[in-house]
Amino acid sequence: MTRLMRSTALMLFVTLVAAGLARAQATQPKDALKALYEKAKGEKEVTFWAPAAIEGSWVPEQFAKRFPGIAVKFTPDLQGATKIIAEARAGRHTVDAWSFSIGGMLEVQKRGLLQKEDWTHYGISKANTFFDGEAAATHNFVYTSIYSRAAVKPADLPRTWDDYLDPKWKGKLVAQAFLLPRMMGFLALEWGPERTEKWGRALIDDQKMLIINTPSESYLKSGERVLTVGESIPQVYQYRADGVDVGYVTLDLVPAGQFAIAVVKDAPHPNAALLLAAWLASAEGRALYEGLVHEADVRPGSTSPVAKEIAAAKAKILLEDVDTVAQRAKYYEEFSKLVRGQN
């Protein structure tokens, strides 16, 4: 055999081995999930809590298609953390899997009430887990600006958050009292609290931005206001479904709250709980979040259409993480006073 033939044969061998390893690595998470499903079938059901209906009302049907024989009992509850803590104190355990923002999970996690898992076993990167493996990323609450397409031309849209201070938007802006201070907390992590407070005061005092306690849908529909400051992408699709012609624009900074899924310690159905959690945190689950309720994953490495839009706009994602969530919560408290006219 000539040197060239030996070299070619070696390259072919290396290629075949690499391909075989890649196939094996790709099937391992599927095999692990399949094995877990076999264990979970005997439990027959799993209880799943999330903060709102949009976060999980679609899960029972989709899970049943993927894993027949296991019923998902879903409860939307914004006070889930308080109830999980109260149940643990009473020695009761009714919830199996729990989805919430990582900030909303903190008090439960501090009390040791979340089960540590090896998510990598199911193909979930360690970079997409929190609290040393006690929760895994599912989707992000992506803040955006919604505009009336009947009133605003795409060429006239703001491109940065500072563009809202242009006099042409005076009397035309609207924001939700619940969402605006939370979004400002993200901006404060990037800009600092002083600049963010000055920006917020200018919007309210100079631009005469309307602060409301409900979604902005009716204001955009009537034309009373034409552009929102800090709503979410799912709201765009909800408004459209209601017949309001709106679009959204990606600005220079994209605040993104982080939602995660966790198995509650001493879950009544531990295998089904882990199966549900691993599935929701997988690429398949994250794609369903975006495809069904428009809640995208924009973490590093995401192939989400929304993540691609953000990359194309060369915008910077301000991603919520465990290290900054407490600071952002403090900013929120102060900015909430400002937004509500208490400061």
- Written as tens digits, the pLDDT of the chain (343 aa) is 555 444 454 444 434 333 443 343 446 778 999 999 999 999 999 999 999 999 999 999 999 999 999 999 999 999 999 999 999 999 999 999 999 999 999 999 999 999 999 999 999 999 999 999 999 999 999 999 999 999 999 999 999 999 999 999 999 999 999 999 999 999 999 999 999 999 999 999 999 999 999 999 999 999 999 999 999 999 999 999 999 999 999 999 999 999 999 999 999 999 999 999 999 999 999 999 999 999 999 999 999 999 999 999 999 999 999 999 999 999 999 999 999 987 7
287, 231: one domain: no
What span, in angstroms and rounded, lies between the C-alpha atoms of 129 and 132? 7
35, 103: one domain: yes
SS3 (DSSP) at 208: coil
225, 317: one domain: yes
SS3 (DSSP) at 146: strand
39, 115: one domain: yes
Residue 30: per-residue pLDDT: 87
- Yes or no: say if 80 and 98 are a contact pair by the CB < 8 Å rule: yes
162, 235: one domain: yes
234, 166: one domain: yes
**Which of 135, 57, 88 is closest to 325 using CA atoms?**
135
Residue 341: per-residue pLDDT: 85
Does a structural domain hold residue 19? no
Residue 28: per-residue pLDDT: 76
134, 198: one domain: no
154, 128: one domain: no
231, 85: one domain: no
Residue 2: per-residue pLDDT: 54
Q: Say which residue the tokens 């040393």 belong to.
A: 132
Residue 84 is part of which domain span?
A: 25-139+257-297
133, 150: one domain: no
200, 53: one domain: no
Total tally of structural domains belonging to the chain: 2
45, 191: one domain: no
Number of Cβ within a 10 Å radius of residue 337 = 12
For 191-207, the pLDDT digits (tens) are 999 999 999 999 999 99
Residue 27: per-residue pLDDT: 61
Does a structural domain hold residue 1? no
Does a structural domain hold residue 104? yes
What's the CATH code of the domain at 269?
A: 3.40.190.10
